[in-house]
Amino acid sequence: MRRYLGYKLSSPLIYVNNSGVQNIGKNIIVFDGCSTVYNKNGLPIYEVPAHASGSFDFVYDDNMATITERAQEDDKELFTAVKSCIENFFSDVPLENRKVVIGQSGGIDSGTTAAAYRHVLGKDSVVCINMPMPESNPVLQEAAKQTAENLGVKYEVISIGDLVALEAKKMGVEIGSLSYENLQSRTRMNILATRAQQIGGFFTANFNKVEQAFGYGTLGGDMEGCLAILGDMVKREVYQLADYMNREVYGRQVIPQTSFDEAPTADLKKDQKDPFDYGNIKRRGYHDEMVRGFTEFRRSPEWFVEMYAEEKLESELILEPGTLRRLFPTSLHFLKDLEKHWKMFYGSYFKRIQAPPVLIVSRRTFGGDMRESILPAHFTKRYLELKEKLLNDPSDKIVVYGGSFNPPALHHCQIAKRLAQSFEKAFVVPCGDREDKPSTGQTSAEDRKELAKRAFGKIPGVKVDYWDLDNNYYSPAYLLDEVYKEKYPDKEIWHAIGGDLIIGGRNGKSQIQTIWKYGEKVWRNLNFVVIIRPEIEFSPEDLPPNSIVLSSDTLFGASSMLRERIANGDEVEKILLPEVWEYIKEKNLFGYKGEK
């Protein structure tokens, strides 16, 4: 813009920018300066050094040679901003109080924080404290110790297990509960605050922008401190800053490789991992870029859905190809994650407003730079329309409709037809012999194949998979899922089931969870199309985590009832296709004894 303006006016242009630091309470802003003089052609001929303050003399001449503008170095800019912020923050603090206490977990956030303060304040002004629970990761504990030793700062280990157990007992807090986890975080904060007061200094806040955006922190715990130097950096930027300090500031690896390699954790329970797709030095993370989208670029959920539907989201967020498929097997998974984090984003403002000052390093961050209100998350009419369209888009979706179909009734055909209209392909899978259903072995495989062919063979978009019948085998749901994912690796695989199978799901008592092989795993991981009939007492709370509902008209019941009607000579013409009924009569199947 500056170049264009100078060229358009055919006049020299002087761009003057702030330098130094501005403290506005909730935010600390570092200005890089770099005031520049442009000639009448809009080309730069003089630039003030980055972050320099003062008066600079310059005599303009039309014939002056142009210069190359300073290239942006993200990691260097991050470090310079952090360094300037810490220097400014402590400049008005008495010399004897320029000390910090840092909770040192061994992770990348606390290691980066320690390295930054050590560089600015000196080794004698930094105290690192590791506060493990009995189940804390020993690998990260060793990394915390190694970081402090590499920096030459004081290091303490204060175990908090007894303190947490005592308070949990007094408060009646259940071990393993969320309250128990938050109690650990607040206990650690109390230790840091106490030690800071003892030495006459401050304690730091180590949270990053992703954690702040989604409220992944505890008030009165890890969201407390004097200053959040990482509070406007997504995780990838924290890794960049840590790597830069190792290479350029210290010239050696003061932050150990373990801190880069170990999965980030809040260290509040055994084997805990942060629930985000973070970036690192090598790649961008989806939830990193989601936060940047929500804040810096003002992207709404509608934008995310539109880009996802057009298969542009990965390129727009500069993600590695395949990232979204890795994270979200289906569009339903994608939408659930988006809605979850939009709600978390809005639901965490009450934490952010009470958080310590944040250093600004992006175009828009929390605090005075980004005005927020304590309001619930809202999904616009446009978003709901896009969501419905995406879920109803049959492309890239395959549904597997398994059952005995012994015999296949008219309602089975109607369901298969509905499924074919909603999915790219619908596969009907008549099962082989089942121990829990002796009736499957009372009709020959050849007869069952012929019945399935007559019932489903002419329905557009429906294919019948005869593998089980041909091999006298029963493929349970988990195995069908594996088979179809292997056949169609780029498709979403869904499984059509009757609504009766999910009753009690909210309490872990559905037939899927209690009877099916690997039931709990199947319940959590498979995608289900739940077919609901009016006579089924259905509650949305019983639905599996990854499911959609397909409503059906009142239909005839189980195949066992149909077989009984055939054997008793009752009327069945209205609930069977004519060609299916003709074959049953021709072969005397299911106890058919001829016309009465």
Name the DSSP class of 134: T
The three-state secondary structure class of 394 is coil
What are the Cα distances from residue 238, in Å, to 16, 110, 260, 326?
Answer: 30, 10, 10, 24
Beta strands in 33-77 (DSSP E): 36-38, 44-47
The reported pLDDT for the residue numbered 133 is 96
Give percent above pLDDT 70 in the chain. 97
Does residue 270 carry a pLDDT above 60? yes
CB 292 within 8 Å of CB 299: no
CB 24 within 8 Å of CB 368: yes
Strand partners, 128: 102, 155
Enter the tokens of residue 214: 């989604």
Does residue 558 carry a pLDDT above 80? no
| Rg over CA atoms, the chain | 32
Does residue 554 carry a pLDDT above 60? no
Distance CA 262, CA 313 (A): 28
Domain ranges of the chain: 2-71, 80-360, 392-591
The reported pLDDT for the residue numbered 116 is 98
Helix or strand holding residue 565 (H, E): helix 559-568
Give the closest residue to 233 by CA, choosing from 93, 52, 30.
30
Section 225-235 average pLDDT = 97
Section 445-458 average pLDDT = 95
The reported pLDDT for the residue numbered 121 is 98
> Is the CATH number 3.40.50.620 carried by domain 392-591?
yes
Task: Return the minimum-mean-pLDDT range out of 117-121, 389-393, 460-464.
Answer: 389-393
Strand partners, 32: 19
Domains 80-360 and 392-591 share a fold: yes
The reported pLDDT for the residue numbered 555 is 61
Question: What backbone torsions phi and psi does residue 203 show, to the nearest 5 degrees?
Answer: -120, 150
Give the closest residue to 485 by CA, choosing from 573, 593, 397.
397
The reported pLDDT for the residue numbered 95 is 95
Give percent above pLDDT 90 in the chain. 72
Enter the tokens of residue 338: 């988006």
Does residue 439 carry a pLDDT above 80? no
What CATH number is given for 80-360 in this structure?
3.40.50.620
Which residues, at least 6 apart from 172, have a Cβ–Cβ distance to it below 8 Å? none
Neighbouring C-beta atoms of residue 13, cutoff 10 Å: 18
Q: pLDDT confidence of 596, banded at 50, 70, 90?
A: low
Section 492-509 average pLDDT = 94
DSSP string, 355-377: SPPEEE-SSS-SBTTB---S---
Does residue 556 carry a pLDDT above 90? no
Distance CA 13, CA 2 (A): 8
Section 282-289 average pLDDT = 97
